[in-house]
Every structure is written in C-alpha cells, then in structure tokens.
Structure 1
Amino acid sequence: MKILTSEEKQAHISHVIAEGSKGLIYGAVLSAGIFTYLKKRHPIKFKKFNPSIKTCIVTMPTIAVGAFWADQGSWEFDQKMHQSDFQEAKLMEEFREWNSLSLSNKIFTVLSNNKYQIIIGAWAASLYGSWVFVNRDKIMSGTQKAVQARMYAQGITVILLLGTILLAMKEEEINKSKPAPIPRWKRIIMEKEAEEKQILQEFEAKKKQEAEAKAAEAKPVEA
C-alpha cells in the first residue's frame, strides 16, 4: 500500500473541494427550481409548509448533490493517481501549476473552464428575468412586453459576449505565463515508459515473493 505524501493529500483535498463546490452550485439550482415550482404550481400546499419543511426543500438537494459530487471527485482522483506513474506525475504537475497561480488568475481560470455553462445559464436566466420584469407592467400589451423583454435580453447577451472576449484574453495571458506543454508524441512515450517500469517493478516484486516463499518451504523445521 502506497503512503501518500503531504502534497498528494493536499491535491486530493483540493480536487474534492473543487468537485464538491460544483455539486453545491448544481444542487442550489435544483433546490431553487423545486422551491419555485412548489410555490408557483402548488401555492395552497406550499403555504401549509412550516419553516422547517421549506428549509429542507432548499438545503437537502443542495447538500445531497454536493456530497455526491465530492465523493465522485475523490473516486476520480484515486483512479487517476493509480492509473500509471505518468498520469500521477501529470496530475501532481497540474496541482503545482494551480497552486502557483494568484487568486485572481485562479478565479479567471475557473470561469474560463466553465464559460459555456455560465454563458448558457446566464443567458437563460436573463430571458426569464427580463420577461418577469417586463410582465409586471399592466399597461403594455403582450406583444409590447415580448419586444421589451427581447431588448433587455439582447443587451444582456452583448454584455455576456464582451465577458467571453475578456475571459479569452485573460486565458491567453495566463497560458503564456505557463511553461510550454509537452508534445503529444513525447507524452505517449513517457506514459509507455512509465507503464513498462511499473510492470517490471510488479514482476520483480512477484519473483521476490515467490523466492521468499520457496526459501521458507525449503527451510528445515527444527525439532
């Protein structure tokens, strides 16, 4: 059994926290959806709920999804770490690169890695929010409300596009500060060498165990 170093433990904790945070966000979105659905579609039943039940509706899905993602993150990290020596070295190198980034660069990196989910989610939320905001007006007709909501949504879309360009520029700046990536052909060779080394070590360990077992069997039993 391999004993983890302090750096490997920190890498494991960091990965679990990152995946658990994603789960908390997804769980919060799910909780908000369930809460809104019950409040809008079943208002009479919803009013009968006491504060404890309403709190559970918000917290339980959030905690459950967050815990699931954290557990999956722990399992995925272990799988990657034990896949091969090369994969382990690669994972630790990524962890060191992440730790070397400043807080602002870490935030930009997270946003950049999840930019499509953020853009789609923000765009959908802007459409819904624009319609809810405009729909409060009792004077405008339905057609006027639709046109007004579309104008708000278009303005938010332009802001999102500008944000995407900013993220792309910042991502390029961060990538320039990183060391040059290893070519694919070299990574393949390094991975194969690491796998062969691991197989050889396992073979030698097995031979040693067999030799020790034979020596123990051949040793005369003292009367």
Structure 2
Amino acid sequence: MKIVTQEDLEKHQAATFRGAVEGIATGLAISLPGSWLLHKRVPFYRTLPIQLKALGVILVVGPCYAIQAERRGVQYDMSTWKGAGKDLLDEEEYAEQKRWESLSTNEKIGDWAFKHQYSVISGSWAASMGLAAAIIMKDRNQTTSQKIVQARMWAQGLTIGVLIAAGILTHKARSEAAAHRPVDHSWSQIIEDQQREKKRIAAASR
C-alpha cells in the first residue's frame, strides 16, 4: 500500500490547481468569443441583461473547470503508482482496450455514451437549445416577451427529451454492468505480486 506523504498531498493539490486554471482558461476561450459573436449577430441577445450573459459564461466555464481539475488530479495519482500497483493498472488498461476492440460499432456507441453520459446530456441540450433559439429568434411576428416564453417552453421540453433519450441509450450498458460487476481483488493481487517479487529476490540472492 502506498503511504501518502505531505509532499504527495501538496503535489496533488498543485496538479488539481493547474487543471482548474486550464479548465477556466478553456471555458473562457469558448464562452467569451461565443458571447461576443452572439452580441454582434443576434439582436435578441443584445437585449438580455448582463446577469443572464454572465450566467451563460459560467455555465460553460464551470464544467470545464471541474472536469479538467479532476482529470489532472487523477493523472497525478496514476503517475505515483509504481511496482505491483502500476503493473495492475497496466493490466486493467490492457484488458479494457481488448474489451473495447471486441465490441461492435453499436456496442461501442452505447459504451461511450454510458461513460460520457453527462457530457452527452449537456451537449445535446445545449445544441438543441441553440437550434431552437435560432428558429424562434427569426420569427418577426412575436414580441420579445413571447419569444422568451416560447424559449422557456422549448427548454423544458428539450430537457425532458434529452433525459429520456439518455436513459434509453445507457439502459443496456447499465444492465450489463450490473449483471457483470467484477469483484475488486486489486489489493489482494498487489500483495500476491509483492510476495512473489520478494521470493524472486530472495532466491536470486542465495
């Protein structure tokens, strides 16, 4: 078992902080130009209060910040594993690669959607909302307040639709994962590997 030291904690915190900065920078690089483009080309967007525009930026920056911070933290954790622990991670990665290669195209789509379900839900919702907003804003026969009400109704309907579609898409993968949930023997396997290594060293030193 790896003993976590204060230095490890500080390095993990530094890696997480670096990921947070990268995520915020990426989110701002996407949201600010997007907001500027909407302000230039969409008259309705120019009429929105600054609070709503700031909320739009936050809704992009927030997930980017959280995902990248966690990703960097996990990467650092994996880089500290050595010996039997690293061998186990390598074996699991190889087994996952072989499993992925054995899947059909439809199974790969379902497996990917299951692993990235939150990204699929948020991305589908954002794309659907953008398309709906573009269609609604072109209607010159409605007032601004009517367009806002209609956009809200579209948002509610699209949210429910995306959730239902995501549930259907990932139901099979969830069922298979529950039916074939592996028992975690990682620690016992690491101990066995370490014991075999000790015996090999002892035999070689005789």
Pairwise CA RMSD:
3.7
Structure 1 residues 133-172: aligned runs within 5 Å: 133-172=135-174
Which structure would you say has the larger Rg? 1
Rounded to whole Å, the distance in 1 between the matches of 2:103 and 2:82 is: 22
In the alignment, structure 2 segments of 5+ residues that lack a partner are 1-25, 42-71
Count of paired positions = 146
Tell me how far 1:96 sits from its aligned partner. Answer: 1.7
Which residue identity lines up with residue 183 of structure 2 in the other structure?
P
TM-score (normalizing by structure 2): 0.54
Distance 1:199 1:125, change over 3 A: farther
In the alignment, structure 1 segments of 5+ residues that lack a partner are 1-26, 44-71, 212-223
TM-score (normalizing by structure 1): 0.50
Rounded to whole Å, the distance in 1 between the matches of 2:163 and 2:182 is: 32
Tell me how far 1:35 sits from its aligned partner. Answer: 5.3
Rounded to whole Å, the distance in 2 between the matches of 1:112 and 1:121 is: 14
Rounded to whole Å, the distance in 2 between the matches of 1:89 and 1:145 is: 55
Tell me how far 1:116 sits from its aligned partner. Answer: 0.7
Tell me how far 1:36 sits from its aligned partner. Answer: 3.7
Rounded to whole Å, the distance in 2 between the matches of 1:134 and 1:101 is: 41
Distance 1:167 1:148, change over 3 A: same
Q: Give the share of equivalent positions with the same residue, in percent.
A: 23
Q: Helix, strand or coil for the counterpart of 2:160?
A: helix
1:56-110: per-residue Cα shift (whole Å, max 9, x none)? xxxxxxxxxxxxxxxx9xx88x947964332222222222211221111011111
Rounded to whole Å, the distance in 2 between the matches of 1:87 and 1:146 is: 51
Alignment partner, residue 197 of structure 1: 196
Structure 1 residues 63-74: aligned runs within 5 Å: none
* Residues 1:124 and 2:123 aligned together: no
